[in-house]
Structure 1
Amino acid sequence: MGWRRALSENWEDYVTYLTRIHLFVIIINGLIVLSQWIPLGVTLRDWREDTKNIVRPQLHVDNTDTCQNGAPNAPANAENIWHTVQGELRSRLGERVHKSWTGQLSLQSENEHSVALTAPSRFVASRIEGKYGDLVRTLWAGHDARDVEICACADVQASKPNLTSVNSHVHGIAGSPSSRSRGARAGSNTHFQPVAVSSTGAPVGSSTGSSTGPSTGMPHKDAENRRDRFTFENFVVGPSNELAFAVARRIASSSECLYNPVLIHGPHGMGKTHLLYAIKAAALAQNPNRIVKLISAENFVASFVQSVRAQGRSEIDAFKASLRDVDLLIIDDAHFIADKPGSQEELLHTLIALVDDGKQILLASDRHPHAINKASERLKSYLCGGLLCDIGACDYELRLRILDRLIERRRNNGYPSLAMPQNARDHLAARINATPRDLEGAFSQVVARLEFLGRPLTLESVQEALAHSRYSSNTRPTVDKIQRACAKEFNISMDEILSKRRARAIARPRQVAMYLSKMLTTRSLPDIGRRFGGRDHTTVIHAVKRIDALRSEDSALNTSIEAVIEVLKG
């Protein structure tokens, strides 16, 4: 009973004490909220002044225009308006979305009719235009009547003479009056022509990245001129490349994807790059609006690595868009990408995305998909599911026609009187039993003697020029040539030689090819194993020992090996 009496006597004191505690808690919570609202290190007076500048942007009147045109008012200062709009965007979209997208916009230029906001890339500009463009314009219209154009920095640089640059990095407080005056005076005499952004993130009338469209930026002019001769008209067709040539013409002339993807494979110097550039030139000549992108594997890997190392997701998205927002994607030396696991995965996803969208993909490689080192089984299967076009070795007749084309081209480029006797042509075509690139190199070596030493083109001069070159009679065969010779001798296909099958009818010719590759070439054992479907060097050692023992025991096998050697000697 005593505690009840004590509580009733001191009740008013307890209520007063609890009320004070409650008020103290409310004040603390209010200070915490206020500290998060007002930036650290900014006094209340400064914050109020900045708020006044933001809420009531100062208007600048161009005295020159007012005197000349009699206009009573000029557009409001864009820097203050843009800072206000950024705050409204942040509150509407949230800090995370604003920082990822609309926060990347910066005020680039202004005049009396329009204002330009720039994004760091065409991809970002496209996304902002598609998802937040209407919101940005609506918020801007609440402060200013001028039109708002969203474009990429690259597009602004391309049309720089038509722009009035302003401070693009606004950090809350408007620029000084003198700087605003200079910007307004410059803007009064400028007619800004905005660059519209398409759904692919590129300006209308141009393409994305290094793609080639109606008026896109091409590669370096000198580099492109060196490829001008790579046309279908300059490509010499023969039995070894007629399928690849016919498929290339079909891809260039038609937008239908009957075969997808298409892989052209063959040794170096067989004309694969020639066909790729010919497809690009013919496709654009027939349809200038067709977006064609030709990229080498080296550039593919470098761009992918650069996008991964960059901060943020926008660079990766821009890289993906540059490859997928096209009508025709052409990749040269695709086997190089397969050696990089990360780039290989990106290549596979790009192929799948383009095929699903009905876009054409064309790749070139120096080997069959099953012989590409470190390529995943999924990538091999996907490539083999399309159309494979093999470019084989040139026969004698094709080499003669290539020589005729080389002579004709040299006559058109400063040597109108160039002539080569028929016996010299026959000897050169017969001796250079290699790739068209090798044949062109030997021809240049022969013609150089005529140009610099004044020696006539005769059979003797051709023989002398080739006597101490790599085209002499003791030229070593390549592993690919040995594989093809063994496949022909034992009546099996190249795919079977490179496969994992262990049936004796296939394994024995494969062992013979490994044996001859070791005996007739300078390739190392691991290198030979990789060229036989990625096998280990111990498999090559076993094959060499096995065939070496069988040659003395099996006369029929030894006869077949001798026949292959004679074919390789030419």
Structure 2
Amino acid sequence: MSVTAQSVWNNCLDFIKDNIQPQAYKTWFEPIIAVKLAENALSIQVPSKFFYEWLEEHYVKILKVALTKELGETAKLVYIIKMENTYGNKQPFTEKIPSSNRSAVKSQEVDIPLNNKNPELRNPFIIPGIRNVKIESQLNPNYSFENFLEGDSNRLARSAGLAVASKPGGTSFNPLLIFGGVGLGKTHLAHAIGVDIKDKYPEKTVLYISAEKFTQQYIDSVKKNNRNDFIHFYQIIDILIIDDVQFLSGKTGTQDVFFHIFNHLHQNGKQVILTSDKAPVDMQDIEQRLLSRFKWGLSAELQSPDFETRVSILKNKLYRDGVELPNDIIEYVAKHIKTNIRELEGAIISLIAQSSFNKKEVTIELAKQVVEKFVKNTKREVSIDYIQKIVSDYFQMDVDTLQSKTRKRHIVQARQLAMFFAKKFTKASLASIGSQIGKRDHATVLHACKTVDNLSSTDKQFRKYVEDLTKKLSV
């Protein structure tokens, strides 16, 4: 059997795989391609200069042992670095690194066709001289932990945020992914973590950016042929906060570049904070390798606040604005606006404005008028409890029967319909839907939704169930 570059490299990989963590193997060795074997030198292609530097820094010993085992003491390893050249020359360059001893790396032969050997990194925020000039964090100092009030709906996310702010990159909450519906405080909490880190660790580089802006910067970098500068810029950030990461859905180029940036930051103990309108398990058109990384740390859900928390939020808002309102009016607003903190604060601002502009006293009557307008102009979010009640009534059973473990066909179908409508009409995660409808897991909810879709297209009677319930829930 003839010895080829591929067969030698496969044997090396078998040895390496047995001696390092599976995740490290997947990240740092699976992307490598064996190119050629000549004069006892194995040439391998790696995706970038950074990739090569990481291998040399962390895996040079195991590479040396694996290669020596295959080719003997005179073995050499040649890296072919597939790299976009910002300065016009598209050819890859090679760096020949003898693997016989580590010190040889210092005297490596390098043939890099660049006009400028040390190109200055280009900052997407147009701040010249990255190394010497402070990078603007893009944080809003008004979003702080002090005005992010704790309640049952946000306790886990807030506590995790405080832990990350105290020890960025040093907790198991990396990445920290905060998810939940519109107006529940995801952006506020992300900023609060960043602001707290800047206070505690002024020397650290913190950057907040929306996924939309990140995508636009990436597109611009490709147009201007400086993608590597874009990547290098993000690799020097200590705490990276990406808001609305679900915006990366379907954008394969941006996902790919973010994947490499994420790997670099995570491997170097930097902190990544993400926000999303849904849990990783519910994200569509996001690459699996990226979703798996989102799950490495902690995914914390922000839910709609309970009545006591809503009252506290309103009182805190009024205190900060130096306004006093009677308790019964505060409680009336909190009782009737339930799903969204942004709407809650908007209603109280509107109430104060109406009173001030029209020189009216703030009364329950005025509060009713303001709240009615808000509720009317806001699409009502149906609760999971309400959906279960409507479905149970429709099939003439009680909610306990719907949630039971029984496998009777008509009860199973009713339960599946409740899950289907909970996914359709609420912003709850699949895991949250499952736990509320009979303590099932997210996979059961996913299966239920697929079953309803299939039966709707093949079973006339079942399609009528779906149509009837849709009308009842859309009223």
TM-score (norm 1): 0.51
Which AA in structure 1 matches 2:362? L
What residue in structure 2 maps to residue 406 of structure 1? Answer: 317
What residue in structure 1 maps to residue 342 of structure 2? Answer: 437
Asked whether 1:154 is paired with 2:128, we answer yes
Which AA in structure 2 matches 1:421? P
Cα gap change, 1:233/1:432 in structure 2, threshold over 3 Å: closer, same or farther? same
What residue in structure 2 maps to residue 427 of structure 1? Answer: 332
Cα gap change, 1:491/1:338 in structure 2, threshold over 3 Å: closer, same or farther? farther
Cα gap change, 1:540/1:352 in structure 2, threshold over 3 Å: closer, same or farther? farther
Cα gap change, 1:329/1:463 in structure 2, threshold over 3 Å: closer, same or farther? same
Cα deviation, residue 98, structure 1: 5.6
Which AA in structure 1 matches 2:131? P
2:352 to 433, 447, 450: 447
Cα gap change, 1:484/1:264 in structure 2, threshold over 3 Å: closer, same or farther? farther
Asked whether 1:232 is paired with 2:151, we answer no
What residue in structure 1 maps to residue 68 of structure 2? Answer: none
Which AA in structure 2 matches 1:318? D
Q: CA RMSD in A?
A: 4.1
Cα deviation, residue 504, structure 1: 9.5
How far apart are the structure 2 equivalents of 1:277 and 1:378?
27
Matches for 1:523-542 after TM superposition, within 5 Å: 538-539=453-454, 541-542=456-457
What residue in structure 1 maps to residue 178 of structure 2? Answer: 264
Cα deviation, residue 475, structure 1: 6.0
**Partner-residue secondary structure (3-state), 2:272:** strand
**Partner-residue secondary structure (3-state), 1:284:** helix
What residue in structure 2 maps to residue 478 of structure 1? Answer: 381
Q: What does the per-residue CA deviation read over 1:245-297, in whole Å, with 9 as the maximum and x for residues that have no partner?
A: 01111111113132222211000111111111111111011111112121110
2:131 to 199, 203, 214: 203
Cα deviation, residue 101, structure 1: 2.1
What residue in structure 1 maps to residue 202 of structure 2? Answer: 288
TM-score (norm 2): 0.60
**Partner-residue secondary structure (3-state), 2:178:** strand
Q: Is the 8 A contact 1:295 1:330 kept in 2?
A: yes
Cα deviation, residue 153, structure 1: 9.2
What residue in structure 2 maps to residue 276 of structure 1? Answer: 190
How far apart are the structure 2 equivalents of 1:334 and 1:439?
25
Asked whether 1:375 is paired with 2:279, we answer no
Q: Is the 8 A contact 1:261 1:351 kept in 2?
A: no
Cα gap change, 1:361/1:516 in structure 2, threshold over 3 Å: closer, same or farther? closer
Matches for 1:98-177 after TM superposition, within 5 Å: 99-102=114-117, 121=121, 154-155=128-129
How far apart are the structure 1 equivalents of 2:196 and 2:127?
31
What residue in structure 1 maps to residue 11 of structure 2? Answer: none
Give the structure with the larger helix fraction. Answer: 1
What residue in structure 1 maps to residue 264 of structure 2? Answer: 353
Q: Is the 8 A contact 1:400 1:426 kept in 2?
A: yes
What residue in structure 1 maps to residue 217 of structure 2? Answer: 303
What residue in structure 2 maps to residue 160 of structure 1? Answer: none
**Partner-residue secondary structure (3-state), 1:363:** strand
What residue in structure 2 maps to residue 511 of structure 1? Answer: 417
Cα gap change, 1:297/1:490 in structure 2, threshold over 3 Å: closer, same or farther? farther
Cα gap change, 1:452/1:153 in structure 2, threshold over 3 Å: closer, same or farther? closer
How far apart are the structure 2 equivalents of 1:153 and 1:514?
49
Matches for 1:55-74 after TM superposition, within 5 Å: none
Asked whether 1:242 is paired with 2:158, we answer no
Q: Is the 8 A contact 1:515 1:540 kept in 2?
A: no
2:363 to 427, 449, 458: 458
Which AA in structure 1 matches 2:294? L
How far apart are the structure 1 equivalents of 2:155 and 2:164?
14
Cα deviation, residue 154, structure 1: 2.3
Cα deviation, residue 216, structure 1: 3.3
Cα deviation, residue 300, structure 1: 0.9
Cα gap change, 1:100/1:482 in structure 2, threshold over 3 Å: closer, same or farther? farther
How far apart are the structure 2 equivalents of 1:517 and 1:266?
14
Cα deviation, residue 427, structure 1: 1.1
How far apart are the structure 1 equivalents of 2:271 and 2:401?
35
Cα deviation, residue 377, structure 1: 2.6
**Partner-residue secondary structure (3-state), 2:249:** helix
Q: What does the per-residue CA deviation read over 1:451-491, in whole Å, with 9 as the maximum and x for residues that have no partner?
A: 21111111011012223x1414x965437x4499659x679
Cα deviation, residue 507, structure 1: 7.0
Cα gap change, 1:451/1:383 in structure 2, threshold over 3 Å: closer, same or farther? same
What residue in structure 2 maps to residue 328 of structure 1? Answer: 239
Asked whether 1:546 is paired with 2:462, we answer yes
How far apart are the structure 2 equivalents of 1:342 and 1:505?
45
How far apart are the structure 1 equivalents of 2:413 and 2:293?
26
Cα deviation, residue 322, structure 1: 1.8
Q: Is the 8 A contact 1:512 1:547 kept in 2?
A: no
**Partner-residue secondary structure (3-state), 2:299:** strand
Cα gap change, 1:153/1:278 in structure 2, threshold over 3 Å: closer, same or farther? closer
1:216 to 135, 144, 149: 135
Cα deviation, residue 392, structure 1: 0.7
Cα gap change, 1:538/1:361 in structure 2, threshold over 3 Å: closer, same or farther? same
Cα gap change, 1:232/1:100 in structure 2, threshold over 3 Å: closer, same or farther? same
Q: Is the 8 A contact 2:163 2:171 kept in 1?
A: no
Structure 1: 5+ residue stretches without partners: 1-93, 106-118, 124-151, 156-201, 207-214, 412-417, 494-502, 522-531, 553-557
What residue in structure 1 maps to residue 101 of structure 2? Answer: none
Cα deviation, residue 236, structure 1: 0.9
Q: Is the 8 A contact 2:144 2:192 kept in 1?
A: yes
